[in-house]
Amino acid sequence: MIDLNLIRDNPELVKENIKKKFQDKKLPLVDEVIALDKQKRELQQEGDSLRAQRNALAKQIGALMREGKKEEAEVAKVTSKANNDRIAAIEEETSKIEAQLKKDMMSIPNIIADDVPLGKDDSQNVEGKVFLKHEEKPFDIPYHLDILESLNGIDLDSARRTSGNGFYYLTGDIARLHSAVLSYARDFMIDKGFTYCIPPYMIRSDVVSGVMSFEEMDGMMYKIEGEDLYLIGTSEHSMIGRFMGEILPESSLPQTLTSYSPCFRKEKGAHGIEERGIYRIHQFEKQEMIVLCKPEESDYWYEKLWNYTVELFVSMEIPVRQLICCSGDLADLKYKSCDIEAWSPRQKKYFEVGSCSNLTDAQARRLGIRYKAANGKNEFVHTLNNTVVAPPRMLIAFLENHLQADGSVYIPPVLRPYMGGKEKILPKTK
């Protein structure tokens, strides 16, 4: 949610930002917000005046009664009642205006960074830096499910019976590799000075609406029937919500946190073969990094965060690149964002394995997260999040890049301590 003062003072800037995001249908919201804000302030002014009159009349009525001027007192009481009725009507009307104003404000996208490339959708995202040159394999790479099955590492049929499509059992060395990567990612971020956290896996609706747009919420979140609780789609949701309503000491910033959680997502829509298997699923696990910082530091942390993911993947000898998200591919709360994509030897192209976002103060405004600045004022923090690693997609990149001609899978040195010293995973014997 952007600053209401910005809409008051520079509505054309806000409208131009909406156009850059190719959301022209939202342009009328700016004028509606201005009109509602004006109406609200006029009502508040009228209400304040009536309350002052009410207080004065109360004193006048008391004085009249003491002086025995009952008729004059009764006339004043009639005026006082009319004022009270109007005040009640104003409060009811103001409440309705505030609800609509909040709804409109939460639908207006955050101002994007000047260096965000303009584009309608993800097809117009821009390649950034490439890390660790990929090499051509001298043999054909099978589909990732075939690799997993050859290693006796997955059971989809049983998962379909117990849970439906979009779920899986990982088994044996593949299940161990999955856990090894998460443990390595946890220690990697702890070594970077981040505090390790395990958050709640369910959050209330006021937290959900604070961390994401209505469109994202509808497309991602599972609601617990009969309760005001949602399963988290990523640990960022509950990690940012942890600070809801707080005023943090400036000395406590930046808050640098890394969190583990399972993640639950609807993943609506049909998907092609490359997005079946374990690429797009309803439940997975992830290591995340979250930063709360002062506004002047968020650009610095944005660069550091996505580079940490690159460093992690390069240490596992997986080629990656940065893909800069264009304006039309940014969720409404994002100031800027980039994906980290891993090389797929099978598809001979990159695919997303993580995403880094700077949301400036959009989440903080929704959730009321501030800090006490040196000037004594309470300022909104900036929030950032980034995927350290999400093993399902990482496993695809790992298996394809480290598959050997004999069907075994090479384990890089950084992971061997988490794999009991294993240097490779062997295919099952026939």
Q: For 297-322, write each residue's pLDDT tens digit.
A: 999 999 999 999 999 999 999 999 99
**Which option is the CATH number for 122-425: 3.40.50.970, 1.20.1440.130, 3.30.930.10, 3.60.15.10?**
3.30.930.10
- Kindly report, residue by residue over 102-140, the tens digit of the pLDDT: 999 999 999 999 999 999 999 999 999 999 989 889 999
Per-residue pLDDT band at 275 (split at 50, 70, 90):
very low
Domain with CATH 1.10.287.40 in the chain: 4-107
Looking at the chain, the whole-number percentage of residues with pLDDT higher than 90 is 80
Evaluate whether 383 touches 364 at the Cβ level (below 8 Å).
yes
Average the pLDDT over 415-430 and give the result.
91
Domain with CATH 3.30.930.10 in the chain: 122-425
What is the DSSP secondary-structure string of 397-418?
Answer: HHHHHHB-TTS-EE--GGGGGG
Looking at the chain, the whole-number percentage of residues with pLDDT higher than 70 is 97
**pLDDT over threshold 50, residue 218:** yes
| pLDDT in the model for residue 273 | 45
- Distance between CA atoms of 198 and 215, rounded to whole angstroms? 27
Q: Which CATH number describes the domain made up of 4-107? A: 1.10.287.40
| pLDDT in the model for residue 276 | 61
- Kindly report, residue by residue over 276-296, the tens digit of the pLDDT: 677 888 899 999 999 999 999
**pLDDT over threshold 60, residue 270:** no
Average the pLDDT over 338-365 and give the result.
96
Least confident of 20-34, 97-111, 276-290, 348-362: 276-290
Per-residue pLDDT band at 1 (split at 50, 70, 90):
confident
Give the residue with greater pLDDT, 345 vs 430: 345
| pLDDT in the model for residue 392 | 85
- Distance between CA atoms of 388 and 288, rounded to whole angstroms? 5
- For residue 281, the Cα-to-chain-centroid distance in whole angstroms is 18
- Kindly report, residue by residue over 49-100, the tens digit of the pLDDT: 999 998 898 888 888 888 888 888 888 888 889 989 999 999 999 999 999 9
Average the pLDDT over 358-378 and give the result.
95
**Nearest to 422, CA basis, from 174, 232, 227:** 174
| pLDDT in the model for residue 21 | 96
- Distance between CA atoms of 98 and 350, rounded to whole angstroms? 46
One-letter identity of residue 20: K
Q: Tokens in use for 363?
A: 């989440």
Pairing between β-strand 320-324 and β-strand 126-131 as defined by DSSP bridges: antiparallel
Average the pLDDT over 194-201 and give the result.
97
